Amino acid sequence: MVIFMLLEIENLSVEVAGKQVLKGVDLSIDNGETHVLLGPNGAGKSTLFLTVLGFPQYKVIDGSIKFKGEDITQLSTADRVNKGIGVSFQNPPAIRGVSVENLLKLESHQEVNQPLNSRMKELAKKLKFSDEFLQRDVNFGFSGGEVKRSEILQLLAQMPDFTMFDEPDSGVDIENVELLASEIGALLDKELKHDLRKRSGLLITHLGYILNFINADKAHVLMNGKIICSGNPGEIIEDIQKNGFNGCVECAQYPS
């Protein structure tokens, strides 16, 4: 029996550029679970992601983050990632002179001077990337859809134990959402029976279309730097669609 959750965030308070954004967040995600993080713009969803990832601008002023039972609050981003955390960004920066292919090799621990291995080649093809595309500088002049598919491809190279997805379907045309969802499913062990799943994930979405293709176990609503309600994703989303996020405030004030 596992005695600790895969990810345990306790009473996390975070400051960005001198301004407190997260005010005591508690969130636990177990092995094999997929959670959804909802909330209005500016609520702190991306801040929570980037704090878990350990970007230097996000200063933890209180609380802790534990991953696989270990306190990672003080670890560097690279160290956290090498312990099994991954993320897909909404608007990643372009990096001149760094090709998608070379990045994939680093992410999947292949030698840079060796050809890309067949697993990655097949995955690239599956995500509709040509060989020429893989030679392009990462994110340089990519369309919205190309950015999202490249992010997922890079995560497939890493195969993290815990993956955070920031708006993985925004700007993606409907025919490609299904494709992305199926690969996100692969990152979350969705092809396995629930109790056999190991990998976990946390999805930020604006009630996106993507939830029609990915089953989530739990949803959380983040408002004003706090998680104000957690529960069944279907019910919470239905409620937000009906009453907006204000309904969540009321629900938090008068828990049933």
Interface mask (CB under 8 A) for another protein, residues 111-140, using x and -?
--------------------------x---
Report DSSP state, residue 203: E
199 versus 226: smaller Cβ distance to another protein: 199
Looking at 23, 24, 53, 185, which residue binds another protein (CB under 8 A)? 53
Interface mask (CB under 8 A) for another protein, residues 212-241, using x and -?
------------------------------
Alpha-carbon span 89 to 122, nearest angstrom: 23
Task: Give the tokens for residue 189.
Answer: 């062990």
165 versus 239: smaller Cβ distance to another protein: 165
Alpha-carbon span 40 to 230, nearest angstrom: 15
Looking at 40, 92, 185, 247, which residue binds another protein (CB under 8 A)? 92
Looking at 74, 82, 135, 243, which residue binds another protein (CB under 8 A)? 82
Contact between 172 and 148 under an 8 Å Cβ cutoff? The reply is yes
Give whole-number Cα distances, 32 to 7, 85, 156, in Å.
11, 14, 17
* Stretch 135-194 residues interacting with another protein (CB under 8 A): 137, 154, 158
Burial letters for 55-73: b for 16+ Cβ neighbours within 10 Å, e otherwise?
eeebebeebebbbbeeebb
Looking at 16, 60, 75, 98, which residue binds another protein (CB under 8 A)? 98
Backbone region of residue 57 per phi and psi (left: phi > 0; alpha: psi in -120 to 50; beta: other values): alpha
67 versus 89: smaller Cβ distance to another protein: 89
Instruction: Catalog residues that contact another protein under the rule CB under 8 A.
Output: 53, 55-57, 76-78, 81-82, 86-87, 89, 92-93, 95-98, 103, 106-107, 137, 154, 158
